[in-house]
Amino acid sequence: METDIVLKSFNEGMKAQERFFTKKNVALVVQAAAMIADSFKAGGKLMLAGNGGSAADAQHIAAEFVNRFEIERPPLPALALTTDTSNITSIGNDYSFDQIFSKQVRALGKEGDVLLAISTSGNSANVAKAVEVGSAMGIKTIALTGKGGGILAGKTDLLLNVDAKSTARIQEVHITICHILCELIDHALFQKAGHERGAS
């Protein structure tokens, strides 16, 4: 029955959230937020990359920083590498799809920036290539993955891996993590200075 599908999906999602938010992973989320906040304080920026649903997540979270999340505060420099169709199609056509993010990192990134690499499988070749290029440039790298972390495991400064098999369940935890990162970073940079919380 349809209600069984609803409850099954809900329960799987809740279990995925519970498996992720252990004491160890909570500490890693706090560490990731501090890494991004420190970059912003030092004049750096956050770059985000992913494919498909992860590309949408990259754009969503970049917008939360450039516009605002839940408090009134100045815009923060975040850039989704998934939005410039001319760059993406040019690089994909002239070189390969594997380089669509790494070439943008090389062109736009600088030491002290942070790259948030999103891949539910952990095996997206173009995301892994961006991480490799970013690391070589002195850019801090954070991976949001699932299914064990794939090829991104061990490549990044910080790995946030969701223990789930379903892509949908992994993506649901990813967006929860990202919203928490937004809240932690706003708190670190602005709420301590006395800014009031705005409308949600």
- Please give the pLDDT value at position 199: 38
Q: Is 65 within a domain? A: yes
- The stretches in the chain having pLDDT less than 70 are 193-200
C-alpha to C-alpha distance for 198 and 45, rounded to whole angstroms: 24
Q: What's the CATH number where 182 sits?
A: 3.40.50.10490
Q: Is 198 within a domain? A: no
> Is the whole-model pTM more than 0.75?
yes
> What would the two tokens of residue 34 be?
């501090």
Question: What is the tally of structural domains in the chain?
Answer: 1
C-alpha distance from residue 116 to each of 138, 186, 191 (Å): 14, 17, 23
Query: Are 131 and 156 in contact, with CB atoms under 8 Å apart?
Result: yes
- Please give the pLDDT value at position 1: 85
Q: Provide the residue range defining the domain that includes 117.
A: 2-193
Q: What is the pLDDT of residues 37-75, one digit of tens each?
A: 999 999 999 999 999 999 999 999 999 999 999 999 999
C-alpha to C-alpha distance for 69 and 76, rounded to whole angstroms: 11
Q: Is 84 within a domain? A: yes
Q: Is 199 within a domain? A: no
Helix and strand element counts for the chain (H, E): 7, 5
Count of Cβ atoms closer than 10 Å to residue 131 Cβ: 26
Q: Is 200 within a domain? A: no
Listed in sequence order, the residues at least 6 apart from 171 whose beta carbon sits closer than 8 Å to its beta carbon are 53, 54, 57, 120
- Please give the pLDDT value at position 193: 54
